[in-house]
């Protein structure tokens, strides 16, 4: 049958109340039945399997599974950024600039860390700098180190400057301590030769209160012995900061005296630290003073012995004796000195290593920026860097003032101690401060101008008096003075009567 429109009736959908309603509903229910029954079967199966698994688990030994902590997005980002160089390698072949990088988890990692900051030279520790003994180098790491040197175009014989242990003092007069120090020192040199490194920098040590000449002789004797026990490493004496201390190497003459006692002078040299020499009294802040210092170095030691530089500004003022490194241009030295260094043709090929502070631990971005800063000054004059020098100087103003105040306070304390030792002391008497010179144990001589607290009136008093009589006279208007006058009058009246 067909409808009026010619469409077969079987294809016409059933309408509500139609006779086909019951038939259509039943057929739909029959079509859904298999699906529903299948779901029930699946659900029953899953429940059965879960119950079985729980029973099995209850009979097994319970084990604790420790999950690794989830890494944050910041940690994953830092891992990724560590693989990407912060800057391109130094382009010039006349300048070798880098920083003191980490060699944690394998000496070969020092190369990756150097590449990361765009350096073509660097310093590192070959073992813990605060332990006498450390495990030997892993042969696998040594192989990787040499392989990476080749891959990344590093010359370990010329442009790597390992730093010695802070514990070692080869100038000590104690035989047992000297033996321990030499063993630690020689172990470092053996590591250098194992890695093919040609330079080794260390602190000359301390006299420990013994005569300076004797301490220098002890140090030189150990260096000669070390030369005999090795074949290739050149030993670099680092310039030190405090000329008034027992440290050796605080003056160019110290270093010259040590070198004069070395038998194999082809394997001895100097690592000049800019912060240290500035604190020791060598002014390099201007092009004129820089050239004067370099001329003195050449005259006293010889520029042929200058094998490496530590590039650091100073938080402490000139000739302070304080070893406080600061970022380039932000300290008391200023940017001009470093412009002079990178433009000094006599220093071409000499490794220059940054030891400046980082904003936070592990954030080597500062070094990458400073390497680029040093490289950018090559070929420039003083006027070309004036704007950048002023910007960096302003950044370090607060820190310079803070440390400068500390240094001035210490100097004042030392001045007073020196005066006391010479027999002059500043004492407070009443409302006045006077400087007195000790003549005898019970006698003092007033020598300085005293300043009254009230009215700020100056009065000069120079006289020899007993210590008991040297106190200032009481004010005649004071209660004490009036009482004394009254007592004198009473005593006079009693005598006359």
Q: What is the mean pLDDT of the chain?
A: 82
Q: Is residue 187 part of a domain?
A: yes
464 φ/ψ sector (left φ>0, alpha ψ -120 to 50, else beta): beta
Does 384 participate in catalysis according to the annotation?
no
Looking at residue 44, its pLDDT comes to: 55
> Of residues 182, 222, 238, 339, which has the active-site annotation?
238
Looking at residue 85, its pLDDT comes to: 72
Does residue 379 share a domain with residue 238? yes
What does the longest C-alpha to C-alpha distance in the chain come to? 168
> Of residues 100, 159, 163, 218, which has the active-site annotation?
163
Does residue 427 share a domain with residue 376? no
Q: Is residue 239 part of a domain?
A: yes
Does residue 289 share a domain with residue 429? no
Choose one of 379, 396, 413: the last residue of a domain.
396
Does 222 participate in catalysis according to the annotation?
no
pLDDT tens digits for range 210-221: 999 999 999 999
> Of residues 71, 166, 390, 397, which has the active-site annotation?
166
> Of residues 276, 282, 339, 370, which has the active-site annotation?
276
Does 39 participate in catalysis according to the annotation?
no
Q: Is residue 18 part of a domain?
A: no
Does 466 participate in catalysis according to the annotation?
no
Does residue 335 share a domain with residue 428? no
Q: What is the DSSP string of 168-179?
A: --TT-S-HHHHH
Does residue 215 share a domain with residue 89? yes
Does residue 267 share a domain with residue 120? yes
Q: Is residue 337 part of a domain?
A: yes
Does residue 342 share a domain with residue 249? yes
> Of residues 188, 254, 273, 370, which has the active-site annotation?
273
| Angle at CA of residue 285, ends 280 and 290, nearest 5° | 85
Q: Is residue 12 part of a domain?
A: no
Tokens of 474: 């009481």
Does 227 participate in catalysis according to the annotation?
no
Does residue 226 share a domain with residue 105? yes
Q: What number of CA atoms fall less than 13 Å from residue 25's CA on the CB side?
A: 8
Does residue 295 share a domain with residue 163? yes
Q: Is residue 411 part of a domain?
A: no
Does 247 participate in catalysis according to the annotation?
no
Angle between helices 252-260 and 212-229 in degrees, nearest 10 = 50
> Of residues 292, 344, 355, 419, which has the active-site annotation?
355
Does 153 participate in catalysis according to the annotation?
no
pLDDT tens digits for range 219-244: 999 999 999 999 999 999 999 998 88
Domain range spanning residue 435?
Answer: 423-466
95 vs 373: CA distance, rounded Å: 13
Does residue 264 share a domain with residue 379? yes
Name the domain count of the chain. 2
39 vs 48: CA distance, rounded Å: 14
> Of residues 310, 313, 336, 339, which has the active-site annotation?
310
Does 238 participate in catalysis according to the annotation?
yes
Does residue 276 share a domain with residue 235? yes
> Of residues 325, 336, 339, 400, which has the active-site annotation?
325
Does residue 429 share a domain with residue 374? no
Does 31 participate in catalysis according to the annotation?
no
pLDDT tens digits for range 261-303: 999 999 999 999 999 999 999 999 999 999 999 999 999 999 9
- Burial group, residue 328, by CB count within 10 angstroms (0-12, 13-18, 19+): buried
């Amino acid at each position: 049958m067909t409808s009026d429109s010619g469409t077969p009736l079987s294809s016409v959908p059933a309408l509500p109340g139609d006779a086909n309603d019951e038939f259509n509903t039943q057929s739909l229910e029959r079509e859904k039945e298999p699906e529903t029954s299948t779901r029930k079967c699946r659900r029953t199966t899953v429940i059965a399997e879960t119950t079985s698994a729980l029973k099995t688990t209850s009979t097994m030994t319970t084990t604790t599974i420790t999950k690794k902590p989830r890494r944050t997005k910041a940690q994953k980002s830092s891992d990724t950024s560590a693989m990407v160089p912060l800057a391109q390698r130094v382009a010039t072949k006349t300048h070798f600039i880098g920083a003191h990088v980490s060699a944690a988890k394998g000496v070969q990692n020092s190369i990756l860390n150097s590449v990361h900051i765009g350096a073509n030279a660097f310093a590192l520790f070959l073992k813990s700098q605060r332990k006498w003994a450390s495990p030997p180098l892993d042969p696998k790491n040594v192989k990787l180190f040499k392989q990476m040197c080749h891959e990344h175009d590093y010359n370990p014989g010329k442009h790597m400057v390992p730093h010695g242990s802070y514990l070692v003092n080869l100038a000590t007069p104690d035989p047992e301590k000297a033996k321990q120090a030499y063993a630690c020192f020689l172990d470092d040199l053996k590591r250098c030769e194992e890695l093919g490194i040609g330079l080794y920098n260390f602190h000359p040590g301390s006299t420990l209160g013994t005569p300076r000449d004797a301490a220098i002789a002890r140090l030189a004797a150990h260096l000669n012995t070390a030369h005999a026990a090795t074949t290739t490493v050149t030993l670099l004496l680092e310039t030190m900061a405090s000329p008034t201390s027992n440290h050796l190497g605080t003056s160019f003459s110290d270093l010259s005296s040590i070198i004069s006692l070395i038998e194999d002078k082809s394997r001895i040299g100097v690592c000049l630290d800019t912060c240290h020499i500035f604190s020791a009294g060598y002014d390099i802040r201007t092009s004129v003073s820089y050239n004067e210092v370099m001329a003195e170095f050449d005259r006293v030691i010889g520029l042929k012995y200058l094998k490496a530089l530590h590039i650091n500004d100073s938080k402490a003022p000139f000739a302070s004796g304080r070893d406080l490194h600061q970022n380039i241009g932000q300290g008391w030295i200023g940017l001009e000195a470093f412009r002079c260094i990178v433009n000094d043709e006599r220093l071409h090929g000499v490794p220059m290593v940054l030891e400046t502070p980082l904003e936070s631990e592990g954030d080597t971005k500062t070094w990458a920026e400073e390497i680029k800063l040093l490289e950018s000054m090559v070929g420039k004059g003083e006027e070309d860097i004036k704007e950048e020098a002023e910007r960096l100087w302003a950044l370090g103003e607060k820190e310079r003032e803070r440390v400068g105040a500390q240094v001035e306070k210490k100097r004042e304390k030392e001045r007073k101690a020196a005066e006391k030792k010479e027999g002059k002391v500043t004492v407070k008497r009443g409302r006045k401060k006077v400087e007195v010179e000790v003549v005898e144990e019970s006698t003092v001589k007033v020598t300085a101008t005293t300043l009254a607290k009230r009215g700020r009136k100056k009065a000069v008093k120079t006289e020899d008096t007993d210590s008991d009589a040297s106190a200032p006279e009481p004010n005649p208007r004071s209660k004490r003075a009036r009482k004394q006058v009254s007592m004198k009058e009473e005593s006079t009246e009693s005598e006359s009567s």
